[in-house]
Amino acid sequence: KIFAAVELRCGHQYCKACVLSLKRYDILDDELCAECRTAVPMPGMPDDLFDRGVRIVMVVQRRVELRKSGSWQNLSPELQAQMDMVREMWTEAADQDHYKAQVSLADLYADGMGVPKSETTAVEWRRTAAE
């Protein structure tokens, strides 16, 4: 069986199944491209991706709560970058059929937490989770 390649932000491509296998046995560094050593998030195991995203969301949520408005609108560039990373990690986990990531993405879009508020996208993720 031929597995699809995954392209890292640095442009290098790897077999996704191979990367996941190497990560499973802690052979591959989580955050560095094996070829150019550029810091890039590597494709991960769905549970790991989801858990890392949860930790980031908790920190961002606390910072949002401390803002005067308490609103998720107009996040600082730093907070927006963190939420973009969460969305990417949860999307990758959701694409690997991780139920909690699918439901969490639906919640992000339903509430507009670091993403454009979209009931349509929220419903799509809820349907995917229900399948």
- In which element (H, E) is residue 77 found? helix 77-95
Q: How far apart are CA 113 and CA 73, in angstroms?
A: 8
CB of 114 closer than 8 Å to CB of 83? yes
Residue 91 has a pLDDT of 94
**25: pLDDT strictly greater than 70:** no
Residue 40 has a pLDDT of 63
Both tokens of residue 114? Answer: 């670091």
Both tokens of residue 44? Answer: 């991960």
pTM: 0.68
